[in-house]
Amino acid sequence: MRARPRTVAVMTVTLLGVVSGCVGGTEGSAPSSPAARATVSESASPMAYTSKAFAVPFTVSVPASLGTRPAQDTRTFLTWDRSESDKVRFLLPVVVYPPGKNEPVKPPGSYRAYLALLRGLTDYHAKWRDRVGTKVDGHPATLMTATTDWSLNGTLGCPEADGDAHDDCYGLQPEYTQRLAVIDIGARTPLVSWTTVNTDQQRDTAAEFARFEAMLRSVRFSDAS
């Protein structure tokens, strides 16, 4: 799919939880302002969710604003989708689409190599900021905020080997600002997690990003991971 140039508004994001990280979003019935959404989330206790099919099993505290039941829990993909612009995802990439390529390739074989892949996206209009090293349940991780002026379909990865870059895979998009974590799980591919905020519709990302980071702080991997 041909990328479309877009102008991305420059935004200031307050980084919360430097020692460990990450999340964002709200229910359709929640108040529209970030402050009101944060109040709603804080007033309802998060519920613990233990992954069912995900290949790297873990338990995470899920805020009421996302709902406790994920939209998908497969071997490579676990996601909560409350709306088009309110999502929290965990992905084990099976393949990735290099920028401008029509064929997928195997993802980088290590945590550091995957981070290098993301850094390389700056040559294709991606922008990274608020980057910080952290840990998720003791595992080294890098937390950062991503925007782009062009569609970068499939550049984060796909949960299936035959996924279409536009319809089945995940990458940076001009209308979204993403808070993203890359987690070293000691496997052939890292665990990638992110939340999205549609900044065409909403400029303030603080509440969603704080929620995401709180979820990451709550992650507890099982002994099997």
At 30 the pLDDT is 32
Name which of 72, 109, 60, 53 is nearest 215 in CA terms. 60
Q: Between these two residues, 174 and 187, which has the higher pLDDT value? A: 174
What pLDDT, in 10s, does the model give residues 15-36?
333 333 333 332 222 333 344 3
Q: Between these two residues, 188 and 107, which has the higher pLDDT value? A: 107
Task: Give me the percent of the chain exceeding a pLDDT of 70.
Answer: 80
What pLDDT, in 10s, does the model give residues 52-93?
999 999 999 999 989 879 999 999 999 999 887 789 999 999
What pLDDT, in 10s, does the model give residues 132-152?
999 999 999 999 999 999 999
Q: Indicate the pTM of the whole model.
A: 0.79
